Structure 1
Amino acid sequence: MNKTYLLSTTATIKSGSYTILLLSIILTILSSSHPVSAQPQVEIISLFSDENSMDITLQSHNSIENGHIEFTLSHQDDIIITRTIDLDMPEDSKLTKVIIWDTQLHSNANSYTAKATVYSNDELINESSCKFSYGFITLPRFKIVDLSATSSGASVLLIPRKLSDPTVADITFELIYQNEIIYSKTKEDISIIQSTPLSINWPILLKDQTDYIVRVVAFSHAPQITSSYVTGFTSCQDIEIDDTDVDVDDFGGSVTLFGRSQVPFDGIVEIELRQDGAEPLIYSDRSDILTLNRDDTVGMVWNDLDPGVYNVFILVKTLKGDILDRYETVLLIPEPINPISKPTEKTTPGFNIILTLVMITVSFALIRKN
């Protein structure tokens, strides 16, 4: 009986070993067929869209080269517009990309779907979508009626929809270049009781003759609604002559300049004197490099101007010769005044001879006396 028991025990143990081995093989096959999902190459942190713009914020876990993002805007099954932008990201980095839809939506269509698909080397690595309603089902309690932007900054005007229904909002100004936000500034808890203007100056330098996009993102506290508004501008140098500080006289001229742009001004001041019937006289000098709200005074000296009336033309030019500002005035050079000559003192003829003879006679008398 003991022997039989031992054989039975041995058989039971072997059967269990075979079962464990078989389960291990099955699990190995299943794990190779359905591997545990790895961390995505890039993670979509946030996604926003309305009828004006769309943005996506990404966090990379591996580097992405030769990638791109495809943005699509659709209504039901109809794709309205597609935008594609390039994507390159170093490992463990974060960035936000922005696109402008620039299309007319159907006012009778309530719901739209915005989708972002991320590719690396033409391989899909992540995607996400969001829905929004055109014109809002619930409107924010304020309106943005004016948005403008230049090379100096941006401004916006907020007005409440009802004066009896004030509200509070956060307003974010974004400066966008080639689909990336290069500067952002948020003004929080803005009370909109009446018409409320907001403005900012760009604190960063801009490239000359470059297209920029400005987006204002408005977040209404109650009801909680986020909306975007978009405009654009082409950057340029901008300078202004201070007409209260222009001086020209017989000896020279000076002019004070103010920078009005974050595109650095690099140019000259030219003063031209014109007189009827004569060749114009031109004087020029280089200005300091000026940016927004910086100033410089440029002076020039001239000598021996002919008398007469001169028309004075002051021009501020870029190094390419573009005129940014001008000022005109008149200069009078008076005729020289001759000095008044003193009249010659009249003397009696022979007076000096008589005086000399008297002095000789007195001297001779004194000698004889001694």
Structure 2
Amino acid sequence: MSRRKIVFFVAVLILMSVHSANAKDINIVDVFSDIDSTDITIHSGEHYTGITLKAELTFKGNVLVSKQIHIDEVSSDTDITKIAFWDLTNPKEGFYRTIMTMSMDGSVLETKYSNFSYGWQAMPGVSIKDIVPDSSGISIILAPFYTTKTGTSKPVLTDIEYMLVDGDTVIYRTTDNRVTVVQATPLSKDWNVLLENNHDYSTRVKARISSPEDAVIAQSKDFTSKDDVRITELYRDETGASATVEGYSQVPFDGYVVFTVTKDDTIIEEVREKSPILTTADDETIEIIWTRKLAAGIYGLSVEVIGNDGDILDRWDTVIESDYDSSADATPVPTPTETPGFSIIPAIFALISLILLSRWMDRRDG
């Protein structure tokens, strides 16, 4: 076989081994857009790298904003949702179109469109009145738009989707399906993924309704994640103390609990105890023992939870009333016991003295 044929054969094998993308194994499954932002969900049946999404917001045929989103890698049988914000100033009322194009290696794989109107569109059946996200989860309030002639609310059935966004990527999503909204309805969801401390995230809430017509509304809000732990229970006496702390954040808490005893504004003892790592709904009891029992009196006790950044997350001030008598534990000095037999020595000494004195007097008289 000639060198040219060998090279050609190897090239064919290489081309056959490269899995080319097609609309069957990677495709756009959902596109939503409004005047503030757009999100796109793609599904990949195989493993791919180097995917580019191009989002264009158009008005009367003119491109107002163009955003590019790069996906370095997507695993097989995976959904990925990306979000882009238009950042428009003073948008005009009218009909808008979003053009979403997915490409790889310079080749366009698929294009989809999302249309919406701004300023004069029909009002949907519900509105998202408020969004409050934090490091543990998200809370929202839904309210119906329509009321009957009697003044009561008209029930609306809606599906709610909650998204946690890091940069332009949805890292967690959960849903509430078939929620009946008759009046202002509060809803909450917890995040089930770990968060980084002092990191900026976004939340996105989408409500889908089918009556009086099919509609989707969305709203986003940002927050900065922080570790959060609180003292829920405290016990103390002259011997020691214990504090139960509970996690309220998906940022892992890796801090300390500090117990400080004071008497007349003077620190008597301070104990700094490392806490086990805590996240949302985790709790742990930290127990410590004083170096020595506190003598009778009234003491101040301050318990502080020190966070990952050295800041005070929670504090509980109380008192310790001790009735411990420290003298009760004093070891009594033993009374010396007189040894039998030792008391005869003085008597013998006196007897000998009398004998010697008698002999001396006899010699004198004689």
Q: TM-score, normalised by structure 1?
A: 0.72
Are residues 62 and 151 of structure 1, via their aligned partners in 2, closer, same or farther at CA, if it must alter by over 3 Å? closer
Once the two structures are overlaid, the 10-residue window that deviates more, 220-229 or 271-280, is 271-280
Change (3 A) 1:247 1:130: same
Please list the CA deviations of residues 229-283 of structure 1 after superposition, one character each: whole Å capped at 9, or x if unmatched.
11122222111111xx212221111111111112222221101122337455211
Q: How does 1:168-207 map to 2 (within 5 A)?
A: 168-207=157-196
Is it true that 1:250 corresponds to 2:234 in the alignment? no
One-letter amino acid of the structure 1 residue matched with residue 235 of structure 2: D
Distance 1:90 1:325, change over 3 A: closer
Which of 237, 251, 264 is the aligned partner of 2:227? 237
SS of equivalent residue, structure 1 residue 228: strand
Residues 112 and 133, structure 1, Cα contact 8 Å, conserved in 2: yes
Q: Secondary structure of 1:326's match?
A: strand
> 110, 115, 124: which is aligned to 1:126?
110
Matching of residues 231-310 of structure 1 within 5 Å: 231-242=221-232, 245-276=233-264, 278-302=266-290, 303-305=292-294, 308-310=297-299
Q: Which amino acid aligns with 2:275?
A: S
Whose Rg is larger?
Answer: 1
Superimposed CA distance per residue, residues 127-174 of structure 1 (whole angstroms, 9 cap, x where no aligned partner): 332221124622112211101111111111111123323221111112
- Structure 1 residue 77, shift from structure 2 partner: 4.1
**Structure 2 CA distance for partners of 1:327 and 1:129, relative to 1, 3 Å:** same
Q: Distance in 2 between matches of 1:92 and 1:201?
A: 27
Identity %: 29
1:116 match: 100
| Alignment-mate amino acid for residue 164 of structure 2 | L
Alpha-carbon spacing, 1:289–1:155, altered in 2? closer, same or farther (3 Å): same
Q: 1:194 to 1:273 in 2, by over 3 A?
A: same
In structure 2, what is the Cα distance between the partners aligned to 1:209 and 1:301? Answer: 34
**1:256 alignment partner AA:** T
The corresponding residue for 1:101 is 85
Q: Is the 8 A contact 1:238 1:265 kept in 2?
A: yes
- Equivalents in 2 of 1:189, 1:91: separation in Å? 31
**In 1: Cα distance, 2:103 partner to 2:274 partner:** 51
1:322 matches 2:311: yes
What is the distance in 1 between the residues matched to 2:45 and 2:172? 25
Deviation at 1:189, TM superposition (A): 1.6
Contact 1:284 1:300 survives alignment (8 Å) = no
Asked whether 1:228 is paired with 2:218, we answer: yes
RMSD of aligned Cα (Å): 2.7
Which runs of 5 or more structure 1 residues have no equivalent in the other structure? 1-37, 340-370
Aligned counterpart, 2:344:
none
Equivalent pair of 1:51/1:105 in contact (CA under 8 Å): no
Q: Tell me, in whole angstroms, the C-alpha distance in 2 between the residues paired with 1:278 and 1:236.
A: 33
How far is the alpha carbon of 1:91 from its aligned partner? 7.2
Return the alpha-carbon distance in structure 1 between the equivalents of residues 238 and 102 of structure 2: 70
Query: Does 1:58 pair with 2:46?
Result: no
- The structural deviation recorded for 1:297 is 1.2
SS at match of 2:124: coil
Provide Cα deviations, 1:273-302, integer angstroms capped at 9, x if missing partner: 223374552112222222212211111111
List gaps (5 residues or longer) in structure 2. 1-20, 149-153, 329-366
Number of residue pairs matched by the alignment: 300
CA distance in structure 2 between the partners assigned to 1:274 and 1:112 by the alignment: 67
CA contact (8 A) 1:42 1:126 kept: no
Give the whole-Å Cα distance in 2 for the aligned partners of 1:61 and 1:68: 17
Q: Higher mean Cα deviation, 194-203 or 73-82? A: 73-82
Query: Cα distance, 1:101 vs. partner?
Result: 1.6
Contact 2:50 2:70 in 1 (8 A): yes
| Deviation digits for residues 44-64 of structure 1 (CA, Å, limit 9, x no counterpart) | 333221123322232447754
Output the CA distance in 2 between the equivalents of 1:313 and 1:201.
32
Change over 3 Å in CA distance of 1:109–1:295 after alignment to 2: same
Q: Helix, strand or coil for the counterpart of 1:263?
A: coil
